[in-house]
C-alpha cells in the first residue's frame, strides 16, 4: 500500500475530491501518482472557474469552487502549496510509519478536569484526542 505525503509537514495527504470516509492508501505507486495529478488538476479547475466567473463580471465568491480557489491562491491561509505537484511525494505505507511525526499537547481533559499531556500522530483526527470534548461525549 502507498500513501501521498505532504512534504511541507510530512502528513498524509488526502485528495480534495475524494470522500472523507475513503481510505488514503493506494494499491500501487502509479495509482498514488495519479492521485497527485488529480489533485493538481482539481485546483487548476478551481482557479479557472473563478477566473471565468470574474470575467462574467461577478465577484469571485460566486464561483462554486471559491473555497478551493482560496486554498490554492491565498497565502494568508498558508495552504498555497496544495496546488504544487512538487509538494507531494509517494511513499510505501510501511516506510511512512517509520517517519510519521508525533505531536505532544498539554491541556485540561474535559472528561476528568485534570491537566494531561497527550502524544498522537500528526494524522490523528482531533476528535480522537482525550483533550477534545467529542472524545468524552457518548
For position 50, what pLDDT does the model report?
A: 92
CA-based nearest residue to 41, from 68, 76, 21:
68
- The predicted-structure confidence for 2-30, as pLDDT tens digits, reads as follows 999 988 888 888 888 888 777 888 999 99
For the chain, what are the domain ranges?
2-99, 102-136
* Mean pLDDT computed over 65-78: 82
Distance CA(19)–CA(112), nearest Å, equals: 34
Angle CA(54)–CA(56)–CA(60) in degrees, nearest 5? 25
Q: Does residue 52 have a pLDDT over 90?
A: yes
**130 phi, psi to nearest 5 deg:** -70, -5
- Per cent of the chain over pLDDT 70 is 99
Q: Does residue 138 have a pLDDT over 70?
A: no
- The predicted-structure confidence for 73-91, as pLDDT tens digits, reads as follows 877 777 767 777 888 899 9
For position 51, what pLDDT does the model report?
A: 92
CA-based nearest residue to 40, from 15, 22, 63, 18:
15
pTM score, two decimals?
Answer: 0.72
For position 123, what pLDDT does the model report?
A: 81
Question: How many Cα atoms within 13 Å fall on the side-chain side of residue 136?
Answer: 10
| Residues 6 or more apart in contact with residue 134 via CB below 8 angstroms | 126, 127
Distance CA(40)–CA(95), nearest Å, equals: 24
Amino acid at each position: 500500500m502507498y500513501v501521498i505525503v505532504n512534504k511541507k509537514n510530512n502528513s498524509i495527504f488526502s485528495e480534495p475530491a475524494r470522500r472523507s470516509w475513503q481510505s488514503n492508501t493506494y494499491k500501487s505507486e502509479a495509482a498514488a501518482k495519479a492521485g497527485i495529478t488529480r489533485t493538481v488538476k482539481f485546483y487548476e479547475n478551481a482557479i479557472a472557474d473563478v477566473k471565468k466567473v470574474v470575467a462574467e463580471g461577478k465577484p469571485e465568491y460566486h464561483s462554486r469552487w471559491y473555497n478551493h480557489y482560496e486554498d490554492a491562491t491565498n497565502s494568508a491561509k498558508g495552504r498555497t502549496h496544495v496546488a504544487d505537484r512538487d509538494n507531494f511525494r509517494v511513499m510505501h505505507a510501511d516506510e511512512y510509519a517509520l517517519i510519521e511525526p508525533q505531536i505532544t499537547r498539554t491541556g485540561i481533559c474535559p472528561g476528568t478536569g485534570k491537566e494531561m499531556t497527550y502524544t498522537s500522530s500528526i494524522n490523528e483526527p482531533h476528535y480522537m484526542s482525550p483533550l477534545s470534548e467529542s472524545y468524552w461525549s457518548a
